[in-house]
Structures are given as C-alpha cells and as structure tokens.
C-alpha cells in the first residue's frame, strides 16, 4: 500500500530537482526494470501518473527512471526492481563527443544525409525548417512527394522518430526510409506510385539534444512526449502544455498540414500503441486504429507484434503526441515501439528497419484510402478552412493551404457533415466507402453572414483526469447544439477560432453553456496559441465578453478555465461548454489593420526581447518573449525591427488587409559594416560612430554640403539641430535621439549619400 506521506515526499523531491544544474539526466538518475503486477508500482505508474515518474514499457517489465531518492522511496514502499544502468549521466558521458553508441548516426550525420537528399533529389525531396530545439539544434522535416515544393491535393502521412533521444532506432528508421524513397523513385514501381500520389513527411529527429546526449529528455530536462497539449497533465517535468521548443515545432508541423496517418517511433519494447493513452475508454475511432494497426503488424517482419490502446496495452500517460495528433487534429496517430532494447547492437539497425519498412509503405498507401475531397467557397471556388465530421468519429480539420482532407474509413455507408465559419453547414448522407480505394467527396459551401465559432481545441487539461466524464472535446466545436464539453474541476481549454476578432462597438465573445445548472469560469484572450493570456472577465452560464476589457485590439485564441467549484470525479465536472462565438464587426473601409509576430535573431533563431518595431509612424517594443503587435495602415507597408545593442535590424514589405491581423515574424540579421564612416564615393565621413550627443559630417575640400536629414530605420524623419561650419563640415546634435540605428541623408553638390549612424549611450 502506498502511503500518503510517500506521495508528498516524492512531489517535493520533483519540485526541488528542477533547480539543480542541468545534466542530460537528472542528478543520480538510474534506469531500472520493475516487474509488472506489483501493487505498489501500479500505484506509482497507473494511479498517480501526474506525479511524473518517468516510465517506458519493457515487455513484462516497466522501465523506470529514478533518482536516488525516488529509488529509496520505491524500496521503502516494497517495490522490487532490478538496476539496468546505475548512473545514466555517467553512461551518457561514455559515448563522448559522438553522443550515440558507435554504429548509430549522430545528429550531424542525420542532418547531412537529409541535406544531401534534398540537394540531389530536388523534385521529390524538400527540407522544412521547424525552428530551433534546446541546445541550438535545427529542427528539420523531410517532405517526399512529386512536386515536393508544392502542397498538392494528396493524402499526407507523417513518420517521426527520436522524441526520446536514448531510443536510438527511430531516427535510424526515418533516415533509411527517406533514402530508400529518394533512391528507388523511378525504379521501384510501388515507391514511385506512392511518391507520385501521396505526400510523405519524415521528421527524423524530434529531440536532437536528447540524441546527442543519450537522454530521453530535451535540454531543459523535459520529456517532450508528456508536453503536448491535449489532456496535458503536468507529467515528465513539463511545466505547462507546449512549453518546449520541440513541442511547439511538433505542433507547427501537425497543424500546418493534414496528416491522415501519423506514426511516431520509440523503442524499449515491441508494441503498436494507439489512443487513448490518457484514459481506458475506447476512442470513437477505435475500430479504425485497431484495423490499421493490424495492417501494420501483419505486413511487418515481426512475428506477431502486439497492438492495442496505449492506456490499457502499456500504461497511462498524459501529454503524448498520439493523443494530441488524434484528439486535437483528428489524425490516426500512434507510437510504434520497434525493439526490446533501447540501444540494440548497431549490427541490428538494418534488420529493425527492414522489419518496419513494408509496414511503413503500407501506411503511406492506406493514408490515401477511405474518403477525400476539397472544401471550397461555392461562389469563388477558393479553398476554405473547415471541420469534417464523419458519423460519430472525431472531427478533422482540412489542410489549411489547399482545403483538401483525407481520412481512412472502414468499408460502409457514412454521413459527412462540414462546418466552416462564415458558411452554411452541409450534411451529405449515404456516402459509400469500399476497401482499398478512396471515395472523392468535394463539398462547396454557401457563404452566409454568421459569426465565428470554435474551430478546434488545441490544448486542454482536466487536472489529474476525470474518467467519470467522457472528455468530449469536439462538443465545443461549431455553433450551439446542446452537446457540451465539460472542462473538469479547475480544467481549461484553449480554443482556436480560426479567425481574428477585432475590438468593435459591442461584445466580441459569447460563451454558451445552455443548461439548467449554470457554472462559473474565467475567459482569457490571446493572439497566439501560447498566449500571453489576458483576462476578459468571469462568467456564469451564458455570458458576453468584450475585448476592450482585456485592453486587446484583437484576438484569435481564447482560454476558458473552470472556477474550481464542485466535484472533480463526477460526470460533467466543471463548466460545460456548448459553444463559443466570436462576433465579427465589419471594419470600416480604409481602416487600419495589425501586424503581429515574434522578433527573432536570424543567426540564432531565438526570440529578441526589447526590439524596436516601427511601421510608418507607429512604434512598439517586443515583449520578453519577443512578441509584438502593431497597428498598421492597410495596403503595402514596410515593417522594421531593430535591436541596436546587437547591430541587428531588418525591414520586410508586407500587405495588410483592413481589420486583419497579419502574422509576420521578423528575423533580424546582424548588419555588417554598421560602423562604416565614409560615403560611397569617399567624399563624406561621419564621426564618431557610434556617437553619443554629437556627430560630425566632414566633406572633402571640393564638396559643399547643402542639406542633411536624420531618419529612423522605419523612415521617420527626426528633428535634430544641425550646425553648419563653413561648407564642408556640420555637426548634428543627437542628444535627443533614443539609442539605435539611424540613417543620415546628406545632399552635397556632388552626391546624395546615406550614412548609417549608431547612437549609443
């Protein structure tokens, strides 16, 4: 029996561990095997998953990662375990500069192969940057398809590996699949057909820090496969949902495409594990997951690799990639555990790949079976963002670029309902699906003047889960329909409206509960999926909210949080969200819009706080996360960012639509030659540069200075006192200028020149 003090002691240990100096593994962490079936380990691993014991399945065992203090708690609780690796930090260090055991590819070698494939097969292979991971590693995904640079109306399938860096087989499988697809395109008929008719994404190393340091964690000591936002629950050292750069990159890849099938590769046992991982109930797509897992198993080289639901087949986790891919986005999403050993001898790498290769190709093939089509505007014919709801299966959002959708379905007759903000909902019945083919159902929607409703729940938490409620997140999507998602006691949901709301003359948001027992909640608005969240107010039952209460000019994302009243482990716990409506106020013609984004260093890809942003005559400063929003005139405008302390600046031309918030990130390169002091023809010299209160311009003897003006990078003229000393020297009083980079435009009788001047104090 597990004693209460034990849990409290363990919880306080986990809090303390986060402030220690960062090592690849936690200080003193060891890898142990615990036989399944001990009541105490069940209490740790199943009953209290929120406590964050890090576990990985291992056949008849559970592989656990324990600090010395946690191991003592296990011993004290009578849990029997066998130590596999006594000191994981010493073990990782033993691989030296390579990071991985000999015979396995390093991150640099994986990147080198990916680069060479994109270079040598440019028509069918492109590389896509997903940002920077902890440890400053670049995150890159490979896309392989005919016309690879274009998003075509083809089924998309995703394979990823290496989210746990010490599970070395995933990235090895990924890079070999990419290489085979490129090398055998045009000669192998099966591969040629699949590359021509599908879009195959291979995200070959999700956690490069982990691989380079032989740890399951990222550079912040977080288990990335517990940091995803759907039914997130504070496991694996994750401080908040989507808190890590690796998880944000993952979310970017999954939300910017529509993956019919998504396979994520792990090792430590042999198992195909599909949703749910956070709860024991079957998902609405259980039959589809189970059927496709059987296709994977039968076609593989394993003799009877088992498959099943993650929660019941392996163990309970929250915040996994598979629950996010399926729960938030409607992909058929699972993990494949490819080998009992996390680091099998390098001689077996090829064999494990060959066991999986036929099944991977089958998944590429099956991603294109079932139903497919495009959702368009019936008048313009242009693609629309929509939700496709097929019978009682989880909804999927179509591709945001092309409007196409693809979903695997078992043979039968189906009803398809399509909802899209600003359009009439359409329902089509009697759609017949046959095996090994795809039924094309293109749907054109009639525009109507309605408001905006939730497009998807991107993130949610029911603290410590509530298995007495069905967790029906899709109920909050679309207009009110008397079907509700219960937030759970103290739970929250982050909702993407799909469109940006702007502050108008009345309320901008209406929350609908529509039942007889109104409950309390707080509503927050944000301009990105990660906030910052600004409170719009509190409500009980149905209520209206105004953006101006949050002092926000616009918002696309809403966060609704239960007020914490009532019971947590009952049906319908917490606020019951039927729908959330955003009211669109048509902006007056010739109004302004907004530009929002993040300022990054072009060199390091890291956010820049305190950068000055100018657009026309308007000015703002990026916040501590590098985020900014600035009002802008509509039409063609130029937005500029500068960070003079690092000699960084850049300007981009953008087009701003009335009332819209254009998302545009700025990447500031370090400007070479900012301290140059002479003009193009060598006739003018500025000094000192950098300057403080005064700068002088000197012309050579033949040149007469006629005029001098000082501009900001954004083109705003600055009022400065200029004193002329004869015709060839002048002094600018710069004491009123804020530190930064300026342009000095000088007109002489021989040239018009622009010099850069840095003001530094």
Q: Which residues bind Zn ion (CB under 5 A)?
A: 164, 167, 266
| Nearest C-alpha neighbor of 295 from the set 408, 374, 388, 191 | 408
- Residue number, 277 or 500, with CB nearest to Zn ion: 277
- Residue number, 167 or 399, with CB nearest to Zn ion: 167
Interior CA angle at 493 toward 325 and 544, to 5°? 140
Q: How far is the CB of 168 from Zn ion (least distance, A)?
A: 11
- Residue number, 168 or 529, with CB nearest to Zn ion: 168
- Residue number, 220 or 321, with CB nearest to Zn ion: 321
User: Which residue has the CB atom at the shortest distance from Zn ion?
Assistant: 266
Determine the Cα–Cα distance for residues 319 and 459; give it in Å rounded to an integer.
10
- Residue number, 307 or 533, with CB nearest to Zn ion: 307
- Residue number, 63 or 489, with CB nearest to Zn ion: 63
Q: Do residues 562 and 538 make contact, with C-beta atoms less than 8 angstroms apart?
A: no
Q: Any idea which residue has 């792990």 for tokens? A: 266
Phi, psi of 506 (to 5 degrees): -130, -155
- Residue number, 77 or 174, with CB nearest to Zn ion: 174
Q: How far is the CB of 216 from Zn ion (least distance, A)?
A: 7
- Residue number, 167 or 227, with CB nearest to Zn ion: 167
- Residue number, 31 or 601, with CB nearest to Zn ion: 31
- Residue number, 162 or 641, with CB nearest to Zn ion: 162
Q: How far is the CB of 315 from Zn ion (least distance, A)?
A: 12
Determine the Cα–Cα distance for residues 263 and 328; give it in Å rounded to an integer.
16
Look up residue 273 and give its two tokens: 């594990």
Q: How far is the CB of 164 from Zn ion (least distance, A)?
A: 4
Omega before residue 276 within 30° of 0, cis: yes
Determine the Cα–Cα distance for residues 355 and 299; give it in Å rounded to an integer.
9
- Residue number, 266 or 407, with CB nearest to Zn ion: 266
Q: How far is the CB of 273 from Zn ion (least distance, A)?
A: 10
Q: How far is the CB of 295 from Zn ion (least distance, A)?
A: 23
> What phi-psi label fits residue 550: left (phi over 0), alpha (psi between -120 and 50 degrees) or beta?
alpha
- Residue number, 266 or 452, with CB nearest to Zn ion: 266
Q: Do residues 458 and 328 make contact, with C-beta atoms less than 8 angstroms apart?
A: yes
Q: How far is the CB of 662 from Zn ion (least distance, A)?
A: 39
Q: How far is the CB of 269 from Zn ion (least distance, A)?
A: 10
Q: How far is the CB of 518 from Zn ion (least distance, A)?
A: 43
Contacts 24+ apart (CB under 8 A), 678-682: 679/746, 679/751, 679/753, 679/755, 680/751, 680/753, 681/750, 681/751, 681/753
- Residue number, 264 or 451, with CB nearest to Zn ion: 264
Q: How far is the CB of 347 from Zn ion (least distance, A)?
A: 22
Q: How far is the CB of 211 from Zn ion (least distance, A)?
A: 12
* Number of other CB atoms surrounding residue 21 within 10 Å: 5
- Residue number, 210 or 327, with CB nearest to Zn ion: 210
Look up residue 252 and give its two tokens: 């970017």
Q: How far is the CB of 118 from Zn ion (least distance, A)?
A: 27
- Residue number, 217 or 259, with CB nearest to Zn ion: 217
Q: Do residues 455 and 477 make contact, with C-beta atoms less than 8 angstroms apart?
A: yes
| Secondary structure of residue 278 in the 3-state scheme | coil
| Nearest C-alpha neighbor of 265 from the set 197, 185, 207 | 207
Determine the Cα–Cα distance for residues 162 and 140; give it in Å rounded to an integer.
13
Q: How far is the CB of 235 from Zn ion (least distance, A)?
A: 13
Q: How far is the CB of 352 from Zn ion (least distance, A)?
A: 15
Q: How far is the CB of 302 from Zn ion (least distance, A)?
A: 18
Omega before residue 314 within 30° of 0, cis: no
Q: Any idea which residue has 């009541």 for tokens? A: 39
695: Cβ contacts below 8 Å, ≥ 6 apart:
686, 687, 688, 689, 731, 732, 734, 744, 757
Q: How far is the CB of 568 from Zn ion (least distance, A)?
A: 30
Q: How far is the CB of 319 from Zn ion (least distance, A)?
A: 13
Q: List residues bridging with 126 in a β-sheet.
A: 143
Look up residue 82 and give its two tokens: 């066998």
> What phi-psi label fits residue 673: left (phi over 0), alpha (psi between -120 and 50 degrees) or beta?
left
Sign of the torsion angle spanned by Cα atoms 564, 566, 569, 572: negative
Sign of the torsion angle spanned by Cα atoms 383, 386, 391, 394: positive
| Secondary structure of residue 515 in the 3-state scheme | coil
Determine the Cα–Cα distance for residues 161 and 174; give it in Å rounded to an integer.
7
- Residue number, 266 or 279, with CB nearest to Zn ion: 266
CA dihedral 390, 395, 398, 404 (to 10 degrees): -20
- Residue number, 167 or 270, with CB nearest to Zn ion: 167
Determine the Cα–Cα distance for residues 455 and 458; give it in Å rounded to an integer.
9
Exposed e or buried b per residue across 351-373, where buried means at least 16 C-beta atoms within 10 angstroms of its C-beta: ebbebbbebbbbbbbbbbbbbbb
Determine the Cα–Cα distance for residues 201 and 65; give it in Å rounded to an integer.
32
| Nearest C-alpha neighbor of 100 from the set 252, 210, 231, 254 | 210
- Residue number, 317 or 543, with CB nearest to Zn ion: 317
Q: CA 251 → CA 167, 241, 746, distances in Å?
A: 21, 11, 50
Determine the Cα–Cα distance for residues 646 and 599; give it in Å rounded to an integer.
13
Q: What are the helix (H) ranges across 338-418?
A: 349-366
Q: How far is the CB of 311 from Zn ion (least distance, A)?
A: 16
């Amino acid at each position: 029996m597990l004693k209460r003090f034990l849990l409290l002691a363990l919880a306080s240990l986990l809090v303390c561990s986060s402030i220690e100096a960062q090592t690849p593994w936690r200080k003193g962490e060891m890898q142990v095997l615990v036989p399944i079936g001990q009541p105490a380990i069940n209490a740790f691993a199943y009953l209290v998953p929120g406590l964050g014991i890090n576990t990985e399945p291992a056949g008849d065992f559970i592989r656990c990662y324990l600090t010395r203090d946690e191991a003592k708690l296990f011993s004290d609780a009578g849990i029997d375990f066998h130590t596999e690796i006594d000191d994981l930090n010493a073990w990782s260090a033993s691989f030296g500069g390579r990071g991985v055991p000999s015979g396995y590819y390093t991150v640099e070698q994986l990147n080198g192969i990916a680069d060479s494939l994109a270079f040598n097969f440019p028509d069918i292979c492109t590389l896509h940057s997903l940002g920077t991971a902890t440890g400053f590693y670049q995150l890159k995904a490979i896309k392989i398809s005919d016309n690879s640079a274009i998003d075509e109306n083809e089924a998309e399938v995703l394979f990823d590996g290496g989210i746990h860096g010490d599970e070395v087989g995933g990235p090895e499988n990924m890079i070999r699949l990419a290489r085979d697809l490129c090398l055998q395109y045009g000669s192998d008929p099966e591969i040629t057909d699949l590359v021509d008719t599908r879009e195959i994404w291979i995200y070959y190393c999700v956690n490069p820090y982990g691989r380079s340091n032989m740890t399951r964690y990222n550079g912040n000591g977080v288990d990335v496969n517990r940091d995803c936002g759907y039914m997130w629950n504070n496991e694996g050292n994750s401080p908040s949902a989507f808190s890590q750069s690796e998880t944000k990159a993952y979310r970017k890849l999954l939300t910017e495409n529509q993956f019919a099938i998504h396979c994520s590769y792990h090792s430590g046992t042999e198992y195909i594990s599909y949703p749910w991982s956070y709860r024991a109930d079957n998902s609405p797509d259980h039959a589809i997951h189970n059927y496709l897992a059987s296709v994977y198993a039968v076609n593989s080289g394993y003799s009877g690799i088992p498959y099943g639901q993650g929660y019941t087949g392996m163990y309970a986790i929250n915040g996994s990639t598979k629950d996010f891919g399926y729960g938030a986005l409607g992909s058929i999403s699972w993990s494949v555990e490819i080998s009992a050993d996390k680091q099998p001898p390098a001689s077996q790498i090829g064999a494990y790949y060959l066991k999986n290769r036929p099944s991977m190709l089958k998944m590429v093939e099956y991603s294109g079976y079932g139903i497919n089509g495009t959702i368009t505007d019936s008048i313009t014919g242009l693609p629309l963002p929509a939700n496709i709801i097929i019978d009682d299966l989880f909804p999927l959002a179509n591709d945001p670029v092309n409007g196409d959708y693809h979903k695997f379905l078992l043979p039968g007759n189906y009803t398809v309902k399509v909802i899209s903000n600003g359009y009439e909902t359409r329902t089509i019945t009697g759609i017949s699906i046959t095996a090994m083919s795809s039924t094309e159902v293109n749907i054109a929607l009639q525009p109507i003047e309605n408001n905006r409703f939730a497009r998807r729940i991107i993130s949610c938490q029911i603290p410590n889960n509530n298995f007495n409620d069905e967790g029906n997140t899709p109920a909050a999507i679309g207009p009110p329909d008397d079907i509700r998602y219960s937030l759970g006691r103290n739970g929250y949901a982050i909702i993407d409206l799909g469109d940006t709301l702007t502050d108008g003359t009345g309320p901008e948001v209406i929350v609908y509960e529509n039942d007889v027992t109104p409950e309390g909640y707080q509503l927050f608005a944000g301009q990105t999926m990660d906030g910052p969240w600004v409170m719009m107010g509190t409500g009980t039952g149905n209520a209206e909210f105004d953006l101006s209460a949050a002092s926000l000019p616009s918002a696309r994302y809403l966060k609704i949080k239960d007020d914490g009243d009532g019971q947590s482990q009952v049906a319908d716990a917490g606020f019951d969200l039927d729908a959330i409506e955003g009211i669109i106020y048509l902006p007056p013609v010739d109004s302004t819009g907004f530009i929002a984004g993040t300022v990054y260093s072009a060199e390091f890809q890291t956010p820049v706080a305190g950068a000055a942003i100018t657009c026309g005559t308007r000015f703002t400063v990026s916040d501590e996360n590098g985020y900014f929003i600035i009002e802008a005139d509509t039409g063609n405008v130029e937005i500029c960012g500068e960070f003079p302390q690092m000699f960084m600046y850049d300007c981009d031309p953008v087009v701003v639509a009335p009332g819209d918030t254009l998302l545009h990130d700025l990447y500031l390169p370090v400007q070479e030659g900012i301290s140059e002091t002479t003009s193009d023809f060598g006739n003018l010299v500025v000094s000192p540069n950098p300057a403080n209160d005064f700068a002088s311009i000197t012309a050579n003897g033949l040149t007469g200075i006629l005029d001098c003006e000082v501009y900001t990078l954004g083109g705003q003229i600055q009022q400065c006192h200029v004193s002329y000393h004869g015709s060839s020297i002048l002094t600018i009083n710069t004491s009123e200028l804020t530190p930064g980079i300026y342009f000095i435009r000088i007109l002489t009788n021989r040239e018009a020149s622009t010099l850069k001047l840095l003001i530094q104090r």
